[in-house]
């Protein structure tokens, strides 16, 4: 029985994104291995390099992570000396996340390692930006669709 082309596995956008995610994980695993960082830890550092001293809930929003996922990441990064978590003296419920001197010093070295690996993809700057925009649009459409579906239930 012939298979309808639209339902073939290789024609599924979700499958292509799934495989791209696996490949990105491997890519970053190799690029970040010298620093003993996971991809999830790397994106925490990226957010803090943009804006140090974020409150926990603001960092979670920025990364689209719940606190039960983010807290173990932060604990491991803190134990390894990348960051510190501090309670606000004014309101003990507020937790702020700050880079350590070590975390700030390693930024350039880590970004160079990732860029070095990225250059091996042969993507042009224009193609990179175009792909990024398409994926950002896809993410926005999926978030909206999920919110609409959740509202129905």
List CB contacts of 15: < 8 A, sequence separation 6 or more: 9
Q: What is the pLDDT of residue 117?
A: 84
Instruction: Summarize pLDDT for 24-49 with one digit per residue, the tens.
Output: 999 999 999 999 999 999 999 999 99
- Establish how many alpha carbons lie within 13 A of residue 82's alpha carbon, considering only the half-sphere containing its beta carbon: 22
Between the alpha carbon of residue 47 and those of residues 19, 120, 133, 140, the distances in Å are: 25, 25, 19, 20
What domains, with CATH codes, occur in the chain? 5-122 (1.10.10.10)
Tokens of 114: 């990732």
Question: Sign of dihedral through CA atoms 61, 65, 69, 73?
Answer: negative
pLDDT digits (tens, 9 = 90+) for 42-69: 999 999 999 999 999 999 999 999 989 9
Instruction: Please state the pTM of the whole predicted model.
Output: 0.87
What pLDDT sits at residue 82? 98
Distances (CA, A) of 29 to 78, 112, 136: 20, 15, 23
CA-based R_g, the chain, Å: 19
Please give the mean pLDDT across all residues of the chain: 93
pLDDT confidence of residue 92: 80
**Cβ atoms 59, 44 nearer than 8 A:** yes
Q: Does position 2 have pLDDT exceeding 70, yes or no?
A: no
Which pairs with CB-CB distance under 8 Å and at least 24 residues apart come from 112-116? 113/31, 113/32, 113/34, 113/35, 114/28, 114/31, 114/32, 114/42, 116/31
Per residue in 78-109, pLDDT tens?
A: 999 999 999 988 888 899 999 999 999 999 99
- Residue 149 pLDDT level (bands cut at 50, 70, 90): very high
């Amino acid at each position: 029985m012939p298979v309808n082309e639209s339902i073939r596995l290789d024609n599924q956008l979700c499958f292509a994104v799934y495989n791209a995610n696996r490949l990105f994980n491997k890519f970053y695993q190799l690029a970040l291995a010298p620093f003993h960082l996971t991809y999830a830890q790397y994106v925490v550092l990226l957010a803090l390099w943009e804006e140090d001293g974020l409150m926990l809930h603001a960092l979670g929003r920025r990364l689209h992570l719940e606190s039960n996922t983010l807290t173990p990441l932060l604990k491991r990064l803190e134990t390894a000396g990348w960051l510190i978590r501090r309670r606000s003296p004014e309101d003990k419920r507020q937790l702020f996340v700050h880079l350590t001197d070590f975390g700030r010093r390693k930024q350039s070295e880590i970004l160079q390692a990732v860029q070095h690996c990225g250059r091996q993809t042969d993507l042009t700057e224009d193609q990179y930006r175009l792909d990024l925009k398409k994926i950002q649009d896809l993410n926005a459409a999926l978030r909206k669709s999920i919110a609409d579906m959740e509202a129905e239930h």
